[in-house]
Amino acid sequence: MNAATETREIVTVTVGEISLRGTYHRSDSPADQSGSKRTGVLFVNAGFLPRASIGDSAVYLADSLAQCGYPSFRFDLTGLGDSDGDVPAPLLDFMNSGGYAPILSATVRELVERFSLSGLIIFGHCGGATSALFSAAITKECTGLILLDPYFFLPVERTKVRAELSHWVSRDRFGALASAVYHFLKHVRLLLRRNRPPSNANLPLIGCWKQLASAGLPILVLKAPALKTRGTKPRVGEFDYLGYLQALAGRNSRIAIEFIESTDHSFANLQGRTAVRHHTEQWLNAVTERRPVLEFAERCEGNVRGSEVECGR
């Protein structure tokens, strides 16, 4: 057994008594030999999933970004995947309150130091986006964020009754009507509240966003289609968090929001992962002001296969 392949290496970061297990996707870009420090990308678990993520989409993305010159890391947080420790209970509350931020922040610092990076951009999906935001707020080595379907409210586990109700609503004509009325009433309530976040908004998380965005930290948000809506706007009756957060960010902010069609919340299907790679590569090249040499531009272009993206533009 080897600790590495031609392109990947198993890495461990120990924080206190906890060892986190991860995979390093080597980048053999010319920048590696030039001596200039590179920007890396760190992927964290999407919720409780292991670091490969659904359909191994994180593996695919990390491989692709490494090929384009960005050394990439995927790590399992405490209690998840191959890492040490017990899963914090209840996990969802722990994540939503920024419980993973200290250990993730320490991991970022350790990787930047060990791999001589200029900084790390944290890539978080769903619950991972929450951990990424909380961590970035306490980590100066974090030089950007890529957030897939972040949420800014405090979700609760769906009860069985609620799940049954949703099922009925989606199958029954009267259910659909009841749902439309319900969401219309929610919409009226939102109007009466004058664009104030709902009572279950994750205010500490929104505070982190405001701090980071107003300080000019580059943030890329990628959104998948949600139920009964198109684009980045939520369905009728739901609070428009992204609109609110953009307004909150101020003039110095460097926020990019992209909508990805033909995928779902996992971003794992071919269209989803290809589009995520496309947007991520373009955005990374822009925020790192990197102009890859022709060879690498061609390689990135080849990776995109059929899309119109050109790496480095």
| 204 lines the binding site for another protein (CB under 8 A) | no
* Whether the Cβ atoms of residue 5 and residue 24 lie closer than 8 Å to each other: no
The sheet with strand 117-125 has its strands ordered as 8-15, 18-25, 72-75, 38-44, 117-125, 142-148, 218-223, 254-259
Residue 101 CB, nearest distance to another protein (Å)? 18
Binding status of residue 214 toward another protein by CB under 8 A:
no
Report how far apart, in Å, the C-alpha atoms of 214 and of each of 68, 121, 177, 207, 249 are: 29, 17, 42, 11, 5
Q: How far is the CB of 9 from another protein (least distance, A)?
A: 8
Choose which of 33, 34, 35, 157 interacts with another protein (CB under 8 A): 157
* 11 vs 120, beta carbon nearer another protein: 11
Q: How far apart are CA 240 and CA 76, in angstroms?
A: 31
Report the site for another protein in 8-37 (rule: CB under 8 A): 8, 10-12, 14, 17-21, 23
Based on CB atoms, which residue is closest to another protein, 17 or 289?
Answer: 17
Helix (H) or strand (E) holding 118: strand 117-125
Q: Does 167 bind another protein (CB under 8 A)?
A: yes
**Stretch of 41-49, 115-123, 207-215, 301-309 lying at the interface with another protein (CB under 8 A):** 41-49
From the list 75-83, 204-212, 232-240, 304-312, the region that binds another protein by CB under 8 A is 75-83
Indicate the DSSP class of residue 217.
Answer: -
Does residue 82 bind another protein (CB under 8 A)? yes
Other C-beta atoms lying within 10 Å of the C-beta of residue 279: 19
| CA dist list (Å): 266 to 53, 62, 236, 284, 291 | 9, 16, 23, 21, 31
Report d(CA 25, CA 242) in Å as an integer.
32
Query: For another protein, which residue of 28, 55, 138, 168 counts as binding (CB under 8 A)?
Result: 55
Residue 178, interface with another protein (CB under 8 A)? no
How many residues bind to another protein according to rule CB under 8 A?
Answer: 52
**Unique residue bearing structure tokens 């319900």:** 182
Instruction: List residues binding another protein (CB under 8 A).
Output: 1-5, 8, 10-12, 14, 17-21, 23, 47-57, 59, 79-82, 84, 87, 89-92, 157-158, 163, 166-167, 170, 176, 227, 264, 266, 268-270, 273
